[in-house]
Amino acid sequence: MRVVAGIAKGRRLAAPKGDTTRPTSDFVREAIFNAIGSQTDLEGASVADLFAGSGAMGIEALSRGAASADLVEVDRVAVTTIRQNLESTGLAGGAVHQSDVVKWLQRQAIGGGFDVVFADPPYAFDGWRALLDAIATHLAGDERARLVVIESDRELDLGEGWEVLRSKRYGTTVVTLTSPNPRSHT
């Protein structure tokens, strides 16, 4: 794995050992960031990389101009890998949090200011409703257009509180770009 573009382009990224994480391939990451580029500008953006794994999504965003990235991961080995990847790329602005993602979101202040949220839980994940509710609550109260990028092994029913902007399958991965409808989550 490598950083695809930006100031850290070409730098290698380590993946956590074991099978607890499933890193997004360079090809899919590039497609995701091309899709993001058609929706918003990452320059100066604040991002959250939930279920961060190797930290590749948050690191890619920082490399492409994001001002900050909160990388949230519960697995201790993955957290160590994320810290090593941030150090090896020389990217500032990455804050690593070892925590359950939903609990972390619930502890954050509402309207926390994320412009882009990446959510790539393990394929066996069954807490989608709690995760989506926590993300929507966290983003509530801010009129800026917010972008949430979801990776899953299947199409998801996000519910009426979400506007799907784009959904595309890449092999076994379905990538959905969505935005919370602020009127549905207030």
DSSP 8-state symbol, 2: B
Integer CA distances (angstroms), 56 to 11, 119, 154, in order: 11, 12, 21
Parallel, antiparallel or unpaired: strands 68-73 and 116-119: unpaired
Strand-pairing partners, residue 166, are 177
Among residues 26, 34, 31, 32, which one has the least CA distance to residue 9?
26
* pLDDT score for 185: 45
* pLDDT score for 19: 61
The parts of the chain modelled with pLDDT lower than 50 are 185-186
Q: Write down the pTM of the prediction.
A: 0.90
Strand-pairing partners, residue 115, are none
pLDDT tens readout for residues 13-33: 998 876 666 677 788 889 999
* pLDDT score for 25: 77
Amino acid present at 34: N
Contacts of 6 (CB under 8 A, 6+ apart): 60, 62, 63, 64, 65
Residue carrying structure tokens 């290698």: 12
pLDDT tens readout for residues 70-102: 999 999 999 999 999 999 999 978 899 999 999
Residue 61 C-alpha from the chain's centroid: 9
Amino acid present at 183: R
CATH number corresponding to 27-184: 3.40.50.150
> What are the boundaries of each domain within the chain?
27-184
